[in-house]
C-alpha cells in the first residue's frame, strides 16, 4: 500500500477543496461514457472528508441566518483527514502481485461500505491525500438494450482448470472482454502456446460448449461469476481438441481429468446492484456529485453518477443450494427476495420493528433468519447460498417442513408470510375490538371500519405490501338474512375449472333382480345440490313413475351415508368418492332398508391355507322391506335370492357387463317391498327360458346369511326359515351379511359388485384441451362466483339461531401493493391427489382488475404487472419447483433453478407449470375511470395505494 504524506503548507483549505471537487464533478458527470474509469473509496473516509469541507458552514451565514450545526463539530475546527485508507474494502491477504490482484470483500454495498468517484475526482483527492490501495473499475454498457451505463465493481471471477495436467487457478476478467482475451490470459497464466489450447464452458464440471468464437464477449457467451472454464491442451497428434468429458468428469480416452471437485453447482452470479433505483437506504436519488453541485449540506448523501449503476457480482442473481428436496422453499424465497419492497426493508435496519413479545410470533427469530438470508442473496460476489440456518429456524417453528421431503411451495409461502408478519408486527399490545355487522350501513363505512380494526391489531411490512380486503356476503337459505363482513386476505387461491358444470358417475342398482348394475355418467351444475344429481340420474336410467332413487356414498365396501337431503351440496362429494343409487318403490310407507353386505375370507400373504377372517368386499345391495307384516327368515332368504339373481351362473342366464353409457337396462316391473305373503317357500329365482320365453324355477341352496338384530347380535338365517325376525325399531337400515365361500362363488359372478367407478376419473389434459388456454380472468370470475358453503363450514344464522348452509359471495374491495395469486393445481381428497396440468393464460403486463373491485368510489385504475412466479414440474410428491423472476433494474427475466440461474425470454415465462404468481401495482398517468371505461394510461412506474 502506498502512503503519500502531504505538506500542510501546500494543502488547500476546506473551502477550496470543496469548490475544486465540485467543478471537477460537473465535468466528470457530463462526460461519463463506456470505458471510463471509476474508483472505489471507503465510505468511512469519504464521510470524514465531507465533515471536514463542510465545517465552515456551521457558522452563521452572511444574511444573518444560522445553519444547522454539525454533530461532530465542536468549538475547534475539524482536523484534515489522514491519507486515504481503503484497507477495510479488501481482504487482508490481497496483493497486487497475485494472480487475482487486490480482492474486494464479497459483501460490499454501495453507499454503505464504499462510494464511486470519477477518475478526475479520484486523481484530485489522491494528489492531496495519497494513500490507497487504488481500486479502479471500468464503466460498461448494461441492461437489456445494452445502452445503460454501469460500473463493473466485481468483474467475473473464473475458475480455470487445466486438462490433463490438473492445475487450476482463479482469474478476474471483465464480462465485456472477449473470449479471445480469456484465451490469451489462460495461455499466459499456464505458459502455453495459443495453438495448443481450447477453452470450454465447463458448467458443473461438464463440457457445456466449446468457446471458439474469439470475438464474442463473455457476457454474450453467458459466462457468469465463479463459473468453471476448462483449459484443454490440444492433442499434438490430431491437432484438435481432446475427446469430450463424460458426466463423471473422466475423459473418454482414459486420460484422467484431475480437477478439484466443485463445491456447488455454480449459478449466474453476475448482476447490477441498484445504486440508482434500489440502494440500501431506499433513496433512489443517490448521486453524490449532484448533491455536491446543488448544496454543500447534501454532500452526506451516497454518491453515484446519474445514469450509472454499480455492477455487482450478484445483484439479486445469487442462487440457493438445494439441501435435499428444498426446491419448494428456494423458489418461494427467491420470489419474496426479489419483491422490491421487501428487498429495501430487510437491507435497512428493520431490527427495531421486531416484536419479541408477540405470542403468535417466533420471538423474532424467523424474521432475523429471513433478513440475513435476503442480505446474503443481494450481496455481490457470492456463490450460491446454502440456506441451512434459515431451514433450521423454519423446522423449529414449523415441524411440518422439517426433514427433507418435498412440500407444497404455496403452503410454505403462506406460513412464511404469516410468520414474518407476526415477528414484525408493530402493534405490541393488541386491543380487543368487537366486529359489527353492516346492518344496512353503506359498504364504504363498514369496510373502512373493518380495515381500521384490522390495522389496530396487525401493522407490519407484510400488511403494508401484501394484504388486501374482501367483501364477504352470506345469505341464509331459510330466512334470507344477509350478513356482510369485510375480511383481510394475503393471497388469492383461484380454481382452475373453466366451466360451471361437472361430470359425475354413479352406479345404479335394481332392487328387484331385473337388471345388472349400470354405471351412469351425468352432467350436473358444479355448485349444484343432490336434487340436481338425482334429477339427472332419473333421466339417464329411464326411471319409471312409481320408482325413485336412493343415493348412497360407499366407503370401504360399506354404506358411509345415505344422501337423502336434496339440499346437500355436490361440492361435498369428491372426485374419488364412490356413489351408488338404488331403485326403490316411491309410494311405500313404513319401510326400512335391508343392506346386504358381502364378505369373503382373506388369506395371509404367502400362506394360502391360513385365513385372517371374513372381510367386507364389493358393493352393498339395498332392498326395501315392509315393517307392517311379519318377516320370516325364509322371506329374507327369498329377497336376497332375488337381489342376486342377475349374477347367477347358469347356461340359460347371460348378462352383459356393467355399462359405461348413460343408459341402463329397463326393469320389467317396478321394485316393491316384499311381504311375508309373497315369500317363495321353495327358494326359487326367476330365470329366462329360451324355449318358450316363460319363467322356469331354478332351485337354489340356502344362502349363508347373518342378520344383525337390535342388540347387535348376529342371527343365522340359513336355518329355521319359518321363524319370524324382529327388525330393529331404532334404525332405518337393517344390516345383513352374506359370507361368500369359494363354492358359493362358483354359482355367482360377483365381479359386477367390485371395482365401483369413481365419481370422476382423473385423466391428464389432452393436447386438444391444452390448445384452448384458460384465462386468468376466468379463474378469478369462478373464484368470485356465489356458491353454497360446504357442510363442514356451515354458518350460524343470527336470525334463525341455527347453523345453515348459506350461500357465500366474495368481492374484491381493497387490493394490495403486491398481489399474490395461487393457482389451485393440486386436488387433495381422502385417498387421492391430482395435479391439473391446465395451461393458464395469465397476463404479464396490464393485468386490469378495475372492473373486479366492488368499491366503485375508488376511481384509480387497478393495473398490475407480473414480476415473479413459481413453477411446478412433474407429478405429486416427485415434482420440482423453479422460479421465473424479472429483475426490474435490468428489465430482464431469469430462471431460478436452485443454484443455477439463467436468462430467459419474456415469451417463455408462460407455461402450464405456473403455480404462484406475483403481481405488483402499476402507477397510471390517468387515475380516474369514468363509467367503467378503461383508460390507456402507461405502467412504467409503481406506487402505493395505502
The strand ranges marked E within 800-862 are 802-804, 807-814, 818-823, 826-828, 833-835, 840-841, 847-848
Helix (H) or strand (E) holding 644: helix 633-644
C-alpha torsion sign, points 513, 519, 523, 525: positive
What's the grid cell of residue 251?
475423459
Distance CA 23, CA 781 (A): 61
Q: Would the CA dihedral through 653, 658, 664, 669 be positive or negative? A: positive
Q: Is 880 a catalytic residue?
A: yes
Q: What is the CA radius of gyration of the chain?
A: 39
Lookup: cell for 75: 468549538
Helices 340-347 and 365-378 cross at an angle (nearest 10°) of: 100
Record the cell numbers describing residue 116, joined without a space.
464511486
Contact 549, 508 (CB under 8 A): yes
CA angle centred on 833, ends 827 and 835, rounded to 5°: 60
Residue 847 vs residues 775, 777, 778, 921: alpha-carbon distances, Å: 11, 9, 13, 9
Cell of 241: 481438441
What gap in Å lies between CA 47 and CA 346, rounded to an integer? 24
What are the backbone angles phi and psi of residue 448, rounded to the nearest 5°? -65, -35
Count of residues making up the chain: 946
For residue 290, the Cα-to-chain-centroid distance in whole angstroms is 43
Nearest to 556 by CA among 181, 918, 830: 830
CA atoms of 201 and 190, how far apart (whole Å): 18
CB 142 within 8 A of CB 149: yes
Which of the following is catalytic: 70, 105, 208, 880?
A: 880
Residues 6 or more apart whose CB falls under 8 angstroms from that of 60 comprise 66, 67
List the grid coordinates of 454: 384490522
Q: In this structure, what DSSP letter does residue 751 have?
A: G
Q: Which three cell numbers stand for residue 74?
A: 465542536
Spot the catalytic one: 327, 520, 530, 541. Answer: 327
| Residue 327 annotated to the active site | yes
Q: List phi, psi (to 5°) of 284.
A: -80, -15
Q: In the numeric block, which cell numbers belong to residue 238?
A: 490430431
C-alpha–C-alpha distance, residues 396 and 402, integer Å:
8
Distance of CA 322 to the CA centre of its chain: 17
CA–CA dist 883, 881 (Å, integer): 7
Q: Which residues are catalytic?
A: 327, 880
Amino acid at each position: 500500500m502506498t502512503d503519500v504524506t502531504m505538506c500542510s503548507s501546500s494543502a488547500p483549505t476546506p473551502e477550496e477543496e470543496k469548490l475544486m471537487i465540485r467543478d471537477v464533478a460537473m465535468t466528470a458527470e457530463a462526460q461519463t461514457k463506456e470505458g471510463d474509469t471509476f474508483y472505489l473509496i471507503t465510505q468511512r473516509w469519504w464521510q470524514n472528508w465531507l465533515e471536514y469541507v463542510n465545517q465552515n458552514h456551521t457558522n452563521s451565514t452572511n444574511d444573518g441566518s444560522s445553519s444547522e450545526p454539525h454533530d461532530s463539530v465542536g468549538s475547534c475546527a475539524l482536523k484534515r483527514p489522514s491519507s486515504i485508507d481503503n484497507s477495510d474494502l479488501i481482504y487482508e491477504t490481497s496483493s497486487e502481485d497475485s494472480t487475482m490482484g487486490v480482492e474486494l470483500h464479497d459483501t460490499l454495498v454501495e453507499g454503505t461500505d464504499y462510494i464511486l468517484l470519477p477518475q478526475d475526482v479520484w486523481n484530485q483527492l489522491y494528489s492531496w491525500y495519497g494513500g490507497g490501495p487504488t481500486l479502479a473499475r471500468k464503466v460498461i454498457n448494461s441492461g437489456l438494450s445494452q445502452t445503460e451505463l454501469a460500473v463493473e465493481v466485481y468483474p467475473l471471477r473464473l475458475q480455470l482448470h487445466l486438462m490433463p495436467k490438473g492445475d487450476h487457478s482463479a482469474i478476474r476478467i471483465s464480462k465485456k472482454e472477449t473470449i479471445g482475451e480469456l484465451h490469451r490470459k489462460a495461455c499466459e497464466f499456464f505458459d502455453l502456446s495459443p495453438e495448443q489450447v481450447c477453452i470450454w464452458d465447463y458448467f458443473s464440471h461438464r463440457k457445456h460448449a466449446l468457446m471458439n468464437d474469439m470475438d464474442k464477449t463473455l457476457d454474450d457467451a453467458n459466462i457468469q461469476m465463479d463459473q468453471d472454464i476448462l483449459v484443454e491442451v490440444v492433442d499434438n497428434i490430431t491437432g484438435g481438441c481432446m475427446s469430450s468429458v463424460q458426466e463423471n468428469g473422466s475423459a473418454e480416452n482414459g486420460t484422467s481429468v484431475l480437477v478439484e471437485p466443485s463445491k456447488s453447482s455454480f449459478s449466474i452470479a453476475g448482476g447490477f446492484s441498484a445504486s440508482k433505483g434500489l440502494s440500501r437506504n431506499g433513496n433512489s436519488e443517490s448521486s453524490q456529485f449532484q448533491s455536491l453541485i446543488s448544496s454543500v449540506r447534501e454532500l452526506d448523501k451516497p454518491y453515484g453518477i446519474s445514469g450509472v449503476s454499480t455492477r455487482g457480482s450478484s445483484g439479486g442473481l445469487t442462487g440457493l443450494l438445494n439441501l435435499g428436496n428444498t426446491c419448494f422453499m428456494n423458489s418461494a424465497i427467491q420470489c419474496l427476495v426479489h419483491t422490491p419492497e421487501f428487498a429495501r426493508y430487510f437491507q435497512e435496519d428493520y431490527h427495531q420493528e421486531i416484536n419479541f413479545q408477540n405470542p403468535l410470533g417466533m420471538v423474532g427469530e424467523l424474521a432475523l433468519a429471513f433478513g440475513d438470508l435476503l442480505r446474503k442473496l443481494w450481496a455481490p460476489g457470492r456463490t450460491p447460498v446454502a440456506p441451512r440456518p434459515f431451514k433450521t429456524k423454519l423446522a423449529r417453528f414449523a415441524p411440518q417442513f422439517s426433514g427433507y421431503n418435498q412440500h407444497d411451495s404455496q403452503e410454505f409461502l403462506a406460513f412464511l408470510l404469516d410468520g414474518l408478519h407476526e415477528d414484525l408486527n408493530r402493534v405490541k399490545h393488541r386491543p380487543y375490538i368487537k366486529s359489527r355487522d353492516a346492518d344496512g350501513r353503506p359498504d364504504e363505512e363498514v369496510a373502512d371500519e373493518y380495515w381500521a380494526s384490522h390495522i389496530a391489531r396487525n401493522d407490519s411490512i407484510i400488511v403494508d405490501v401484501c394484504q388486501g380486503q374482501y367483501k364477504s356476503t352470506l345469505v341464509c337459505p331459510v330466512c334470507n338474512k344477509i350478513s356482510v363482513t369485510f375480511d383481510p386476505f394475503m393471497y388469492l387461491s383461484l380454481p382452475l375449472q373453466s366451466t360451471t358444470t361437472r361430470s359425475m358417475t354413479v352406479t345404479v342398482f335394481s332392487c328387484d333382480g331385473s337388471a345388472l348394475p349400470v354405471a351412469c355418467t351425468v352432467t350436473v351444475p358444479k355448485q349444484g345440490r343432490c336434487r340436481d344429481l338425482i334429477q339427472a340420474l332419473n333421466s339417464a336410467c329411464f326411471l319409471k313413475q312409481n320408482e325413485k332413487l336412493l343415493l348412497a356414498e360407499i366407503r370401504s365396501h360399506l354404506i358411509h351415508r345415505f344422501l337423502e337431503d336434496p339440499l346437500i351440496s355436490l361440492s361435498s362429494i369428491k372426485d374419488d368418492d364412490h356413489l351408488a343409487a338404488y331403485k326403490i318403490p316411491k309410494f311405500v310407507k313404513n319401510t326400512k332398508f335391508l343392506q346386504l353386505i358381502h364378505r369373503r375370507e382373506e388369506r395371509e400373504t404367502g400362506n394360502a391355507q391360513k385365513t385372517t377372517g371374513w372381510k367386507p368386499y364389493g358393493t352393498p345391495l339395498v332392498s326395501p322391506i315392509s315393517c307392517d307384516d311379519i318377516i320370516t327368515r325364509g322371506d329374507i332368504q327369498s329377497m336376497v335370492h332375488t337381489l342376486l339373481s342377475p349374477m347367477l351362473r347358469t347356461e340359460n342366464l347371460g348378462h352383459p357387463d356393467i355399462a359405461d353409457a348413460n343408459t341402463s337396462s329397463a326393469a320389467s316391473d317396478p321394485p316393491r317391498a316384499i311381504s311375508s305373503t309373497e315369500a317363495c317357500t321353495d327358494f326359487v329365482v326367476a330365470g329366462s327360458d329360451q324355449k318358450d320365453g316363460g319363467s322356469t324355477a331354478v332351485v337354489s341352496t340356502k344362502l349363508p346369511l347373518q342378520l344383525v338384530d337390535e342388540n347387535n347380535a348376529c342371527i343365522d338365517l340359513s336355518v329355521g326359515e319359518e321363524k319370524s325376525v324382529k327388525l330393529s325399531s331404532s334404525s332405518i337400515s337393517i344390516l345383513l351379511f352374506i359370507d361368500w365361500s369359494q363354492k358359493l362363488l362358483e354359482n355367482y359372478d360377483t365381479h359386477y359388485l367390485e371395482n365401483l367407478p369413481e365419481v370422476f376419473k382423473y385423466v391428464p389434459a389432452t393436447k386438444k384441451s391444452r390448445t384452448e388456454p384458460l384465462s386468468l380472468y376466468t379463474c378469478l370470475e369462478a373464484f368470485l362466483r356465489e356458491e353454497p358453503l360446504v357442510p363442514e363450514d356451515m354458518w350460524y344464522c343470527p336470525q334463525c339461531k341455527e347453523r345453515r348452509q348459506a350461500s357465500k359471495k366474495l368481492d374484491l374491495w381493497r387490493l394490495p401493493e403486491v398481489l399474490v395469486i395461487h393457482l389451485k393445481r393440486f386436488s387433495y381428497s381422502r385417498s387421492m391427489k391430482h395435479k391439473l396440468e391446465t395451461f393458464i393464460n395469465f397476463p404479464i403486463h396490464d393485468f386490469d382488475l378495475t372492473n373486479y373491485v366492488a368499491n366503485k368510489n375508488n376511481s384509480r385504475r387497478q393495473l398490475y404487472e407480473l414480476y415473479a412466479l413459481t413453477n411446478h414440474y412433474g407429478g405429486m410428491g416427485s415434482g420440482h419447483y423453479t422460479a421465473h423472476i424479472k429483475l426490474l433494474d435490468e428489465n430482464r427475466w431469469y430462471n431460478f433453478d436452485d443454484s443455477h440461474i439463467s436468462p430467459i425470454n419474456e415469451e417463455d415465462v408462460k407455461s402450464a407449470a405456473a403455480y404462484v404468481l406475483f403481481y405488483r401495482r402499476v402507477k397510471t398517468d390517468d387515475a380516474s375511470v369514468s363509467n367503467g371505461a378503461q383508460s390507456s394510461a402507461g405502467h412504467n412506474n409503481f406506487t402505493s395505494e395505502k
